[in-house]
Amino acid sequence: EWPGAEVPAICLLDSGVNRAHSLIEPALSPADLYSIRPEWGVDDTGPRPGHGTQMAGIALHGDLVPKLADKNQVKLAHRLESVKILPPPGMGKPEERFYGPITKSAVSLAEIGRPERGRVFCMAVTNEDISGTQPSTWSAALDQEAAGVTMDDKRAPRRLIVVSAGNAPNPIMFDEVQPSDTYPIEDPAQAWNVVTVGGYTDKIHIAEPELADHSPLAEAGDLSPFTRTSTLWTTGRNRPIKPDIVMELETALWMLPEPPLSIQPLFRSQPLVPKLTGVRWYRFVLQARQQPKLRDWRAA
């Protein structure tokens, strides 16, 4: 059952959303599609096309696999909004000093468009070139927006803002795989007042016969090999502990012996199984770069 216009929304700050998908369109009005700059458009054409649409499917439906096995009707209690904060390819990447103001503007666009609506802001975009070990202008802007403390508006509302912790490097060499603790949170997820989301995994069961000789790299309930943490940050009053929460991510499959290997993606994730649910499992293969004696897989 599709939600009405009066329900709360998850506002995505991302690369835009392609709302034509039949499992997204009824919950995302054209009037709820915004863009930082008009010439960018509102469709999903960011640096990684499809990312915003994938996030829309996840934010709206979550994991559709168990829902497909259940004959009961699914009633949605929230809608979607989208603010495009990433430019299309070829239109120039904004300077890092503008990331904070851009995010503030995105929050304002949604609130001005629907001031009466309750919403949660979700931003699965990080700066992979900057570690979150120190505060930044971007993380400071998020802290201000979340806490409702700004220079120009003493009555600004407090906001719930959910931010991705960032992904561990990919591809990587098999013999260089490091614990998630060695990959620090990416900017701006170090912000104190946001909810930073990391990843764990329960996906340890291998159904494919051709992968019977493989084992999961992480045990059920462990951190995903592809998440990030704040473990290496200097402890003290000036450092938060991140991530604040963890949610289901992917794991890795491996087989002995003999590195060196690199992890390469074979399939990209889609938020909704094509023509049905948009869920397409991740599958990755570890490929030997010089001595192809070992094949390993990474799967969600």
pLDDT attached to residue 202: 82
Cα 222 → chain centroid = 19
In the predicted structure, residue 279 carries a pLDDT above the cut 50: no
Domain count, the chain: 1
Residues constituting the chain: 300
Domain membership of residue 102 (yes or no) is: yes
* Lowest-confidence pick of 22-31, 131-140, 176-185: 176-185
3-state secondary structure (DSSP) of residue 245: strand
Q: Identify which of 131, 135, 67, 101 has the alpha carbon closest to the alpha carbon of residue 273.
A: 67
Domain membership of residue 158 (yes or no) is: yes
Domain membership of residue 39 (yes or no) is: yes
Domain membership of residue 284 (yes or no) is: no
Q: What angle do CA 97, 130, 42 make, to 5 degrees?
A: 60
In the predicted structure, residue 271 carries a pLDDT above the cut 80: no
| Alpha-carbon separation of residue 52 from 55, 64, 195 (angstroms) | 5, 18, 19
Domain membership of residue 17 (yes or no) is: yes
Look up the domain containing 52 and give its range.
Answer: 9-252
62-79, pLDDT tens digit by residue?
888 888 888 888 899 999
Predicted TM-score (pTM) of the model is: 0.79
pLDDT attached to residue 48: 72
Judge whether 128 and 166 are in contact, CB under 8 Å.
Answer: yes
Question: How confident is the model over 79-97, as a mean pLDDT?
Answer: 93
- Which tokens go with 218? 């992480």
Cα 14 → chain centroid = 9
Domain membership of residue 265 (yes or no) is: no
- Quote the DSSP letter at residue 176: G
Rounded to whole angstroms, the Cα distance separating 202 from 285 reads: 20
> For residue 186, what is the domain's CATH number?
3.40.50.200
Question: Environment class of residue 5 by beta-carbon count within 10 Å: exposed (0-12), middle (13-18) or buried (19+)?
Answer: exposed
Residue ranges of the alpha helices (H) in the chain?
51-61, 65-68, 99-113, 137-147
In the predicted structure, residue 177 carries a pLDDT above the cut 80: no
Domain membership of residue 264 (yes or no) is: no
Domain membership of residue 139 (yes or no) is: yes
Rounded to whole angstroms, the Cα distance separating 279 from 271 reads: 5
Q: Identify which of 273, 224, 219 has the alpha carbon closest to the alpha carbon of residue 248.
A: 224
Q: Identify which of 162, 171, 165, 169 has the alpha carbon closest to the alpha carbon of residue 186.
A: 165
Rounded to whole angstroms, the Cα distance separating 9 from 158 reads: 16
pLDDT attached to residue 251: 54
